[in-house]
Amino acid sequence: MDEKSTVPEDNTSTIEDKVKDTASTEFEKTCIFIAENGHQYHKTVHDLGGTDPKEYHNLGHIYTVEDRAKLLPPIFKLSADQQAEMLMAIAWHDSVINYDLPDSNNIVAMIKRHGGATEQDTPYGLQGNEAKSFELLNTRMLQFNFSQESLDTVKSIISATYSKADLGTDFQGAIFSDYAFYKIALSQNPKLAETIQFLNSNGIDRGLHISQPYFEEMLDQGVEPQVLITALSDLGDVGTAEKEMFFRNGDAEMRELFYNINQPGTLQRLINGATEQDKKDRSQVVDTFIKWQKTEVGFAVWQALRFEKTIYLLNQHKIIDSEQETALRGVFNHFTDNIIACYRRLIDVQQTYTKYVEQDEEQQAFLNLLETLHYRIPSSDVD
């Protein structure tokens, strides 16, 4: 398959050489400067108009993770230097996103990202995106003579964002109740138990389990606060965001993964085409969209279960006390609301599409679905 990989020239010299007035130490100022350099790099590559623009992993994602991460340092009593070091790592953690393009003959094929933080992460190892992102940041940190301790901390932070997907043995989803921490999670959070029971009664007992293996490995051993905050913030939509932001970000990730669908010429054909092949492709895309929406419900449940595991292990290792747990739950307080909202959205999407089709408005049904999923519709395609 073809590979997408774009690395612009280093643009450090083009960034205005100043930092926020609030920086109180040289260490903090340097971290802020490198973070701002990371923002500019990200914009140059991943934003609209960049060398390889992304639907989800653009500068907006970096800002969102940073905003979440800024809510948590008071809970863990991070110093200004520690916070600046963490935000510098966040600014660069997705700077490299290489991927294989999908089969152009399969309209619903997905890109395959080159995930990998360490040599053991097959098949990409140290050529993986997390490892390469750290490599870019490491180069800049060495220019400013950061200590080995700081380099190791930042490497751990970025490694913690490496994720793996588990869809179960039958590729229909990992079963919630098979989770080793399932009973613990439900006993800690009765509202989550009620929510999962509701889903089970409606035929949903599994979903996409996205884990962060290095974060969870470090969590078992007692994790550094900066690593913990970043890992929680990177996959934090379900727990921290209002439902509309959760939906919008999930839709953006979907559009980024289903590369072929989102090509302008393909969208035009799918919206306007009247041949049997066009109708067949539209049907296949609709099935994929509906399946994704169901996957999002399961994904949300798994993130809630993982959060409960995190709380449990933080308590076991005496990393947090009851006051800190309450504060942490206060930030991540949207899990069950978003799970239910996601389920209701799934039902609404299905019913709305079916209603249009029953009125013999299949193409309008498809256009409406695209708009619901936040696709940008070319003006020439709408009346």
pLDDT recorded at residue 6? 42
Residue 349 has pLDDT above 90, yes or no: yes
Cα 337 from Cα 191, distance rounded (Å): 10
- Per DSSP, the three-state class of 371 is helix
**pLDDT for 17-51, tens place per residue?**
444 455 679 999 999 999 999 999 999 999 999 99
SS3 content of the chain, % helix, strand, coil (to 5): 65, 5, 35
8-state DSSP, 110? -
Instruction: Name which of 32-36, 248-252, 266-270, 334-338 the model is least confident about.
Output: 266-270
Prediction pTM value: 0.92
**pLDDT for 180-230, tens place per residue?**
999 999 999 999 999 999 999 999 999 999 999 999 999 988 899 999 999
pLDDT recorded at residue 259? 96
8-state DSSP, 95? S
Type and span of the H or E element at 273: none
**Mean pLDDT over each residue of the chain, to the nearest integer:** 92
Nearest to 31 by CA among 94, 64, 79: 79
pLDDT recorded at residue 4? 53
Instruction: Name which of 166-175, 182-191, 286-295 the model is least confident about.
Output: 166-175
Q: What would the mean pLDDT of 4-25 be, rounded to a whole number?
A: 50
Q: Among residues of the chain, what percentage have pLDDT more than 70?
A: 93
| Domain spans of the chain, in order of start | 1-161, 168-207+236-383
β partners of residue 175:
206
Distance spanning both ends of the chain, measured CA to CA: 38
Residue 140 has pLDDT above 90, yes or no: yes
Which residues are CB-neighbours of 67 under 8 A, at least 6 positions away? Answer: none
CA distances from 266 to 65, 202, 342, 346 (A): 32, 35, 28, 25
**pLDDT for 81-112, tens place per residue?**
999 999 999 999 999 999 999 999 999 999 99
Q: Where are the beta strands (DSSP E) in the chain?
A: 3-4, 99-100, 112-113, 164-166, 174-175, 206-207, 209-211
pLDDT recorded at residue 379? 67
Confidence bin at 1 (pLDDT 50/70/90): very low
Side-chain half-sphere of 269: how many Cα atoms within 13 Å?
Answer: 16
CA angle 366/52/33 to nearest 5° reads 125
